[in-house]
Structure 1
Amino acid sequence: MISNTRHPNLVELVGCCVENNNRILVYEYLENNSLARVLLGSKSTHVALDWPTRVNICLGTASGLQFLHEEAEPHIVHRDIKASNILLDGNFRPKIGDFGLAKLFPDNVTHVSTRVAGTIGYLAPEYALLGQLTKKADVYSFGVLLLEVISGSSSSKAAFGQDFLLLLEWTWKLREEGRLLDIVDPELSQYPENEVARFIKVALFCTQAGANQRPTMKQVVEMLSKEVNLNEKLLTRPGVFKLQNSRPFGGSSSEETSSSQNKKGKQSA
């Protein structure tokens, strides 16, 4: 399935090897490692990315996800979209990798109930709390990734303000205060303010608490690639899933977490 799924923004599977208990997948080589390493990593691996490069990373990742959701047969939900799974070639073009958690979605299936897997900080609340997986879980994760690319900050490691808010919570707070561009990476000395503001708002549309209120990846690609007027009156509060029996920000009041999630450890906010 992976070898037959080809797109410019998906890592290409070159071959495989099965020898006794050793099972190896061989992928194409990506010179610049991952977005997590380049953008969010230590000083030794960090690369200064200008705004046009970040735009291409966002658009390429969105295009790859749109292909998985709408053109691949059967459709595929990745389930683990995050900075470390966005690999970069020699020209910093993005390619989605690591399909170890992916789920196949035939045309007649709208959602599946499944064991929760993925990375805290990127998990959509309805998936993290109830195990309800749809394509909108990937849309949510992509929205978080968008904010990381814009801010240069990790969604799961950085904390903001006196209340130690997560990146998504902090972005919503800045929006309410009319300071949306304060989230922008200080390394970006030059950028088109209107375009950056639009990208941030698209991220907020992607991370709304209600899955049915989030756009499809096709709509996301259109919103990112075209100068469109976003109807902010339709924008609702984001949903944020936290461990430590904390209440999802803007989402359900349920405080249950699965044992499989608790085994992953607790996130300090």
Structure 2
Amino acid sequence: MSTSASFARYDFSGRVAVVTGAAGGIGRAICDAFTRHGATALNWDRAAGPADAPGAPRHFEVDITRGESIQAALTATLDAYGRIDYLVNNAGFAGPTLALDEYDPLEWQRVVEVNLLGTYHVSRFVVPVMRRANAGRIVNVASLAGKEGTPNASAYSAAKAGVIAMTKSLGKELAQTGILVNGIAPAAVETTLLAQMSPSHVQTMIGKSPMARLGTVDEAARLVLWLCSDSCSFSTGAIFDLSGGRATY
């Protein structure tokens, strides 16, 4: 890729962006991108991440599987800023790389609980705030695994397939409210999440990419910012691939 590329510029001044799971990886890159473009970016996560970095997002401790934890963060956010303009449901984890019949049932359930139910729980608390404002953008971070079904990742694939379907459903529900709901479906992106997978599993994903490389967190962040910008106005309930040409539908 060219190092001299010119990227789109946005003005998110006065806007507040909540990003779940933004202690690192894609979530942190999204927060950093929002901040560069003038927004106040907030990290809803169990962990704060590196706090010494310039422009580190404010951290609200949240367990997205617990309603009372989300409610506390929502109340604190509204008390401090009075609004939520953008919600990026990014928090998730891959779980172990195992055949379905070798998967521990409790671990399988936990993967679904965080990736799918967590996205649902955060959305159900934030949507009423956006309804009252008659405006907002929600971006759900799904995965190409939710479209293709990745071998030895049945829980993650099933959870992300659920996120894709929920995105389409919620987008239709809110289509006339001023709130747009879209999702992104990355293929393998170079983050610490890949450390949870076996090297052979990661190499298999790279091998499937026509571009023959991993995506970057900055590429994911740029797509999210476009979906939250005024440039995106007639897309809702849609899933945008970030796969280096791998996606087939």
TM range (shorter): under 0.3
TM superposition score normalised by structure 2: 0.27
Question: Which structure has the larger Rg?
Answer: 1
- From the two aligned structures, give the one with the greater helix fraction: 2
TM superposition score normalised by structure 1: 0.26
